[in-house]
Chains A and B, each alone.
Chain A
Amino acid sequence: MAPIERKSDSGHWHAVRGKAADMTTTGAVRASKVSLMAESKLKVLLVEDNPADGELILHELRRGGFDVEGEVVATAEAFRQRVKEGTPDLVLADYNLGQWRGMEALEILRRENLDIPLILVSGTLGDVTAVECIKQGATDYVLKNSLARLPESARRALKERKIRQGSRLAHEELAKKAEELARSNAELEQFAYVASHDLQEPLRMVANYTQLLAERYRGKLDDQADKFIHYAVDGAARMQTLIQDLMAFSRAGRQESNLKSTDCNEVVKQALRSLQVAVQESGAIVTSDDLPVVMASTGQLLQVFQNLIGNAIKFRSTEPPVIHIGKERKGIEWAFSVTDNGISIAPENREIVFAVFRRLHTHTEYSGNGIGLAICKRIVEQAGRKIWVEPQAAPGTTFKFTWPAIALETSA
C-alpha cells in the first residue's frame, strides 16, 4: 500500500523509501510528520551494497525521530551523480564496498565542493582507520552493531553543518560589506578627482585672461582698475593652488598597489634634497637616527617625511630650526618621529592640524593651504596606521607616525 501511495512522487527517492517506509508506518511520530512539507524530510544518501543493511540504517534513523527519505547508491559514479543532482542532507557510507571504499565518497564531496556531512557506517572499522576517516573529513563513524548511536550522530552532523553555513553566510555578508565600502570609497575618490579636474578648466580661463588683462592694460586704466585686476588675478591663482592641493589630497588616498622595500634613510635624504632651498635659507640642522627598511609606496612615504620636515622648517621660532628624525620599534610597527624646536601646537589644536585646509595662522604669518598634514594623515591611515602630535612641554613640536614593520629580505 505504501509504495502505491508514493508512486505519484517524482524523482529517484522512491526506490528504497517505499520499502523502508513500510517498516515505520506505525507510530505517532510518523503520523504527525505526514503533513509537513517535503523539504522537511531528511534526504539521506546511502552508500551501501547490502540492501538489508540500508533498510536497517534508515529504520534506525526513523526510530530516532527523523522523517527520512533514503536512496541507495553502490558505485562511485552513481554517488557522484546523486550528490550533485539530489543534494542530500546527509551521506551514510559503508566503509568497505568491494569495488570502492566509502572514503572515496569523501574525496568526491571535496572535489565537487559540496558541504554534505558524511558518516561512515561499517561492520568493522579498526581504530586507526576510524581516526584516519575523521581526519579525511568524515563527521563520525558508527559501527553496524551499535546503530542506536546513529540518530544522535546524524543530529550532531546536521547541527554542525548548520553552524558552518551560518558562519559562511556571515563571512560572505562581511565580504560584501567590505566590497561595498571599497567601491563607495573609490567612487568618492573618483568624484573628488574629476570634480577638481573639471573645476580647473574654467578657472584656467579666469586666471589666464585676468593675467592677460593685467599685462596688457596695467596703467592704461585708472588705479582702481589695476587694483581690481590684481584681486582677480590673485584670487584665481589661490583658487588654482587650492584645487591642485585638493587633487593631491584625493590622490594621496588612493590605495597603492606598488608597495616595495623602501629604505627610510634614502627617503629622508630625498626629502631633504627637495627641501634644500628651505633648509639653506633657514640654516636648519637636520639629524636622523639610522632608519629601517619598510614596505611602502616610496612616493607616498616621501610625501609624509617631506611634509613633516617641511613644516618643521616652516613653523620655526626665531632660532634656526634644529630637527631630528627618530625611530622606535613598537611590536609589529615602527614609530617615526619628527621633532623640532619651532613653535609649538596648543593641546586643543593637536587634532585640528590634520584637517583639510585647516590653518592655524594667517597667510602673512605662514604661507600654505593647510593640506600637507591632511595628506600625511591620509597616507598613514591608508597603511592602517596613525599619526599624531606628541603631547610635550613647549618649546618645539614632535609629530609621530607609525608604519608597518614588515620588510622584505631582498631589496626591490
Chain B
Amino acid sequence: MKVTTEVLLVDDNPGDTDLIADVLERNDRPIHVHSVADGLEAMAFLHCEGKYANARPPRLIVLDLNMPRKGGQAVLAEVKSDPALLQIPIVVFSTSKARADIASSYQLGANSYVSKPGDLKGFVSAVTAIGDFWLDVTNVPWRKEQ
C-alpha cells in the first residue's frame, strides 16, 4: 500500500480549501489533505489533541492569515517556536497583499508567502506551484513512513 503524505490546510473558507485540495491531489499525488477552519483546530491537530488523537504530522501546512478564533499569525508564532513542530514547512496563502502581513509572516518564520490570486486561472497555477515545489521538489528531514 502506498504511504500517503499528510497536508494540513488551515482556512476558514471551504470554497478555497476544496479548490486547494482538488489542485494538490491532482495527478494522483499520494497525499491526504486535511482541512481545518481556524488556528485553534490547527494547533489541536498538530498536538494530536481530542478528535485528532490519531493525526499524523503533516509534510506541509498551507495557512490562511485572517481566520476567526485564532488567526494565521498566531499559528505561525506557535509552530515556529515549538521545537517539535518548527521543521514543518508553512506556506502562508492569504488574499492579503499588504506588505505588513508579508513581512510579519516571514519574521515569524513562514517558509513562503503566496497571495491568493483573484482569478481562477491564477489561483490554480499558484496552488499547483506550491504543490510541485513543497511536495515534490523539496526534501524534509523526517522519516518516510510518517
Contact = CB atoms under 8 A, between A and B. Distances in A.
A205 B95 contact: no
Contacts of A209: 15
Interface of B: 13, 15-16, 19, 95, 116, 118-120, 123
Contacts of A244: 118
A208 B120 contact: yes
Nearest to B119: A207
Nearest to B97: A197
A205 B120 contact: no
B120 A211 contact: yes
Contacts of B116: 204
24 contacts: A200-B95, A200-B118, A201-B13, A201-B95, A204-B95, A204-B116, A204-B118, A205-B13, A205-B15, A205-B16, A207-B118, A207-B119, A208-B15, A208-B19, A208-B119, A208-B120, A208-B123, A211-B119, A211-B120, A212-B19, A215-B120, A240-B118, A240-B119, A244-B118
Contacts, number: 27
Contacts of B123: 208
Contacts of A211: 119-120
Nearest to B123: A208
A200 B15 CA distance: 14
A335 B116 CA distance: 42
Contacts of A212: 19, 120
Nearest to B15: A205
B4 to A, nearest CB: 25
Contacts of B120: 207-208, 211-212, 215
Interface residues of A, number: 12
A208 B22 CA distance: 13
A129 B44 CA distance: 84
A242 to B, nearest CB: 13
A148 B15 CA distance: 91
Interface in A193-226: 200-201, 204-205, 207-209, 211-212, 215
Q: Which 5 A-B pairs have the closest CB atoms?
A: A211-B120, A205-B15, A208-B120, A204-B118, A240-B118
A208 B95 CA distance: 14
Given A200-B118, A205-B16, A207-B120, 13 more contacts: A200-B95, A201-B95, A204-B116, A204-B118, A208-B19, A208-B123, A209-B15, A211-B119, A212-B19, A212-B120, A240-B118, A240-B119, A244-B118
Interface in A144-178: none
A212 B16 CA distance: 12
Nearest to A210: B120
Nearest to B120: A211
Contacts of B19: 208, 212
B127 to A, nearest CB: 12
A298 to B, nearest CB: 18
Most buried by B among A200, A204, A211, A240: A204
Contacts of A205: 13, 15-16
Contacts of A201: 13, 95
Interface in A46-83: none
Contacts of B95: 200-201, 204
B14 to A, nearest CB: 9
Most buried by B among A208, A212, A215: A208
B109 to A, nearest CB: 26
B60 to A, nearest CB: 22
A200 B66 CA distance: 14
Nearest to B121: A211
A215 B95 CA distance: 23
B23 to A, nearest CB: 11
